[in-house]
């Protein structure tokens, strides 16, 4: 490695918020940069090695032993790979992601991050993918920024970044407190779980991983806007006193209603929120999982204008953000027994385990327990599952003067889940907006998703020319 700095051993405690993703094989986030130019694998490997000096969290494994899952550490972790796949078309990155998802990330071995070049003769994609328990979308942005800076200047020394505290209630905004009712309810759940508690280990996880990706894959429906179109959407949103994010979300909701049909209730619209600038300490450049969420209900009025509906939503979500409700569900993760969340995954998809797999009897038997607390908890949570879930990274800043490389567009693919309907990844790079619809094949009606995507594009482009 062409740096004078050593990689210092790194170890930190896994938070309960991060721990909840452990057993979900679909809990990946990916950030894809499309660029013109050429990058060699060797240059990428050197850039990634330097990245790990600045952000060692991308190179950790999970300590998983008799004391359960508690620490992430670089000690003994496998090397972060840089892989190369051939580029056949503009959609090659989608099939490459699914190929990589099907290869287990064994937590106790690591790493939980991969970098992939989808190499073409002129146009290529650079993919950063990571397990959600160690990274959020903003973290991947920081990673790609550092890689591009090292590609720009191969002699650049890795910057030393002050280690930020983990995302825990100790640094949440002052005045946040879990209500007595909610605290009592979760306490009762934990007591009930203690009576039937069952632990699952890494071998169970690997069985679930194999079965999951044998039976499903991610499907991506993409909308792309050029610089002029993106700017027009920003301006028309501002002219109506709302944000582009509010415009996009209500456009998707309207598209769902027009393409598939109205909800029989108020729609639940959720957005992931970067909490770094809401905390009591400076975590603005921290990598890790620093996210909360806003979830509000909206009754789309078909007898009102589109912009009237957007302004109603914008007012509701602004109030929710101002009141810091984004930390509400996050706080639950720190008091709920995390092994119950493991069991919920098993309960949901354990019936997919096949006879040849090592834990077939254990996992299929547990998934068949319809009266288990995990099964009941899943049913109870179904009513709170968002109808639309969006993560908007906004207009991200990346180096645009890397010799021989011109970044043209980015695609953000946040994690989805078996129970989610519309999941959006929204990002703007180089003034170009991209919206990605992510869903798991077999769990969501793909034809309906294409109808919603097409109608949403029609609505958004109509706003540009209105």
- Domain 11-155 matches domain 218-329+383-464 at the CATH topology level: yes
Cis peptide leading into 289, omega within 30 of 0? no
Tell me the C-alpha to C-alpha distance, in Å, between residue 223 and each of 284, 438, 458.
29, 12, 10
pLDDT tens-place string over residues 364-379: 999 999 999 999 988 8
Contact of 131 with 21, CB cutoff 8 Å: yes
| Residue 29: half-sphere exposure toward Cβ, Cα within 13 Å | 27
Beta strands in 120-194 (DSSP E): 123-131
Measured CA angle at 345 (ends 344, 351), to 5 deg:
105
Domain at 218-329+383-464: CATH architecture: 2-Layer Sandwich (3.30)
Distance CA 446, CA 160 (A): 45
The two tokens of residue 384 are 């709170």
Specify the DSSP element, H or E, that contains 283. Answer: none
Angle between helices 373-382 and 180-196 (to 10 degrees): 150
Distance CA 175, CA 173 (A): 6
Sign for the pseudo-dihedral over CA of 121, 122, 123, 127? positive
Instruction: Provide the 3-class DSSP secondary structure of residue 70.
Output: strand
Average pLDDT, the chain: 93
The CB density around residue 321, as the number of other CB atoms within 10 Å, is 16
Superfamily grouping for domain 11-155: Chloramphenicol acetyltransferase-like domain (3.30.559.10)
Domain ranges of the chain: 11-155, 179-215+332-381, 218-329+383-464
Which pLDDT score is estimated for 183? 82
Residue ranges of the chain whose pLDDT lies below 70: 1-7, 66-67, 178, 181
Distance CA 372, CA 193 (A): 9
How many helices (H) and strands (E) are present in the chain, helices listed first? 14, 14
327's CB contacts (< 8 A; 6+ apart) are: 172, 173, 176, 275, 278, 292
- Residue whose token pair is 């077939």: 360
Distance CA 466, CA 401 (A): 36
Label residue 38 left, alpha or beta by phi (over 0 means left) and psi (-120 to 50 means alpha): beta
pTM reported for the whole predicted model: 0.95
- Residue whose token pair is 């790194």: 10
Which pLDDT score is estimated for 1? 47
Which pLDDT score is estimated for 330? 87
Contact of 429 with 41, CB cutoff 8 Å: no
């Amino acid at each position: 490695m062409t740096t004078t700095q050593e990689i210092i051993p790194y170890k930190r405690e896994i938070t309960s918020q991060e721990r909840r993703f452990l057993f979900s094989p679909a809990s990946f986030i990916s950030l894809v940069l499309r660029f013109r130019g050429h990058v060699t694998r060797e240059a990428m490997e050197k850039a990634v090695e330097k990245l790990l000096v600045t952000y060692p969290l991308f190179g950790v494994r999970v300590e998983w032993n008799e004391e359960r899952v508690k620490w992430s550490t670089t000690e003994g972790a496998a090397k972060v790979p840089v892989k190369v796949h051939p580029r056949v078309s503009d959609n090659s990155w989608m099939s490459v992601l699914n190929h990589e998802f099907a290869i287990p990330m064994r937590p106790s071995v690591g790493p939980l991050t991969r970098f992939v070049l989808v190499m073409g003769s002129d146009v290529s994609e650079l993919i950063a993918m990571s397990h959600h328990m160690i990274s959020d979308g903003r973290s991947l942005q920081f990673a790609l920024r550092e890689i591009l800076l090292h590609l720009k200047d191969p002699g650049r020394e890795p910057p030393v970044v002050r280690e930020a505290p983990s995302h825990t209630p100790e640094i949440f905004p002052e005045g946040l407190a879990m209500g007595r009712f909610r605290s009592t309810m979760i306490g009762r759940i934990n007591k009930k779980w203690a009576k039937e508690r069952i632990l699952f280990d890494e071998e169970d996880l690997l069985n679930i991983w194999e079965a999951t990706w044998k039976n499903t894959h991610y499907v991506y429906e993409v909308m792309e806007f050029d610089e002029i179109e993106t700017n027009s959407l920003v301006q028309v949103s501002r002219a109506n006193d709302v944000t582009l994010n509010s415009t996009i979300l209500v456009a998707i909701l309207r598209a769902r209603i027009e393409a598939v049909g109205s909800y029989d209730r108020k729609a639940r619209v959720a957005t992931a929120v970067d909490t770094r600038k809401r905390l009591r300490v400076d975590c603005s450049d921290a990598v890790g999982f620093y996210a909360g969420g806003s979830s509000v209900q909206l009754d789309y009025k078909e007898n009102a204008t589109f912009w009237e509906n957007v302004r109603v939503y914008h007012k509701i979500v602004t109030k929710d953000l101002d009141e810091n409700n984004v930390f509400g569900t996050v706080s639950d993760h720190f008091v709920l027994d995390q092994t119950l969340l493991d069991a919920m995954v098993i309960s949901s998809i354990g019936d997919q385990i096949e006879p040849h797999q090592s834990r077939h009897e254990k996992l299929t038997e547990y998934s068949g327990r319809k009266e288990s607390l995990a099964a009941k908890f899943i049913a109870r949570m179904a009513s709170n599952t968002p109808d639309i879930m969006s993560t908007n990274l906004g207009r991200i800043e990346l180096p645009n003067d890397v010799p021989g490389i011109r970044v043209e567009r980015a695609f953000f693919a946040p994690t989805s889940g078996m129970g989610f309907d519309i999941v959006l990844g929204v990002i703007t790079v180089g003034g170009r907006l991209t919206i990605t619809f992510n869903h798991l094949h077999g769990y969501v009606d793909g034809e309906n998703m294409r109808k919603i995507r097409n109608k949403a594009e029609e609505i958004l482009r109509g706003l540009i020319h209105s």
